[in-house]
Amino acid sequence: MSLKNVRWVIPVVSVLLMATMFANPAHGSLRVFACEPEWAALAEQLGGDQVRVFTATTAFQDPHHIEARPSLIAKARRAGVLICTGAELEIGWLPLLLRQSGNADIQPGQPGHFLAAEQVERLEVLENVDRSAGDVHAAGNPHVHLDPYRLLRIARAFAERLSEVDPDQANVYRSNFATFKQRWQEAIQGWESMATALKGSRVVVHHSNFSYLLDWLDMEVVADLEPKPGLPPTTAHLVRVQATVKAEKPAAILLSTYHNDKPARWLADRSDLPLVRLPFTIGGNDDAKDLFSLYQTTVSLLLEAQSQTGQIND
């Protein structure tokens, strides 16, 4: 074979190889569009090698206040299944993103459209919804992922959904769920025995995004830094919270990564309360790498804060 022949063989072969790479559905063929990191982590647990997961937001972004950016539309265009929180959390951008995606598979009502919060009962469901009460949602508090029991139910439903969307790999999704379920249940026992000391302790929060966690751990919220859900804290409101803190003597102030820490710091400085930055979701701190470590670090941070109560936190 002459050199001249070899020269055109190489590009042709590489094009064919690339074509087979794109055509080969064996590895990571199902594209998952996850609105939040916790659902991306769940999709990875259940999908394993069968899925390619894209996460629309990070732990440092408020999933209620992002935009349907060009990069997100491009990812939604090719997704086979979408997993989002729902309960109106993504109302400001997801409907538009779906309309612009030109992707029939992930539209509402399709099997490829999975909303986690709709799989479980929600807390703080309001009878009368009026915006004078803040940026509230008729569908209840959407931040369901920090209750391990609800998360397990969501995982079960999502494994079934993956099996429906990608029936060829249904066995893989179901066996991944079985493994996850066993590990998760063992982990819950661990966290619950760790967290017995937290039972009944009182905290101040910034936004109602830890309601499910606190409900699970039997902890109590005495004050919220936000005057109304979704509205930035005001000085007048913080002064009121300060009075509540004096009366109720909570153990800590809880804050998630995407909130400004100024109001919480202001209160921490005046009340000697430890300020606890909880990861809230995957990537929210260096330890929260998957769902297991997210819960582990959350419970640890709460325990650490409780042991510090009464001491000045810097």
Residues at the site binding another protein, with contacts judged by CB under 8 A: 57-58, 60-62, 65-71, 73-75, 77-78, 88, 91-96, 98-105, 107-110, 120-121, 123, 125, 127, 131, 134-135, 149-150, 152-153, 185, 188, 230-232, 258, 260
> Dihedral of the CA atoms 275, 64, 300, 196 (nearest 10)?
100
CA distance 247 to 119: 39
Nearer to another protein, 153 or 202 (CB): 153
The count of other CB atoms within 10 Å of the CB of residue 235 is 9
Question: Closest approach of Cβ 201 to another protein, in Å?
Answer: 19
Question: Closest approach of Cβ 94 to another protein, in Å?
Answer: 8
Nearer to another protein, 48 or 134 (CB): 134
Nearer to another protein, 153 or 174 (CB): 153
Question: Closest approach of Cβ 273 to another protein, in Å?
Answer: 23
Three-state secondary structure call for residue 222: strand
| H or E stretch covering 148 | helix 148-165
Nearest to residue 84, comparing CAs of 72, 69, 100?
72
Question: Closest approach of Cβ 120 to another protein, in Å?
Answer: 7
Question: Closest approach of Cβ 305 to another protein, in Å?
Answer: 24
Nearer to another protein, 75 or 237 (CB): 75
CA distance 22 to 258: 37
The count of other CB atoms within 10 Å of the CB of residue 214 is 22
Residues 106 and 115 sit within 8 Å (Cβ to Cβ): no
Nearest to residue 42, comparing CAs of 295, 299, 302, 312?
295
Question: Closest approach of Cβ 86 to another protein, in Å?
Answer: 14
Nearer to another protein, 110 or 242 (CB): 110
Nearer to another protein, 13 or 15 (CB): 15
Q: What is the DSSP string of 39-60?
A: HHHHHHHHHGGGEEEEES--TT
Nearer to another protein, 25 or 232 (CB): 232
Question: Closest approach of Cβ 301 to another protein, in Å?
Answer: 21
Measured N-to-C along each axis, helices 170-194 and 291-308 cross at an angle, to the nearest 10 degrees, of 10
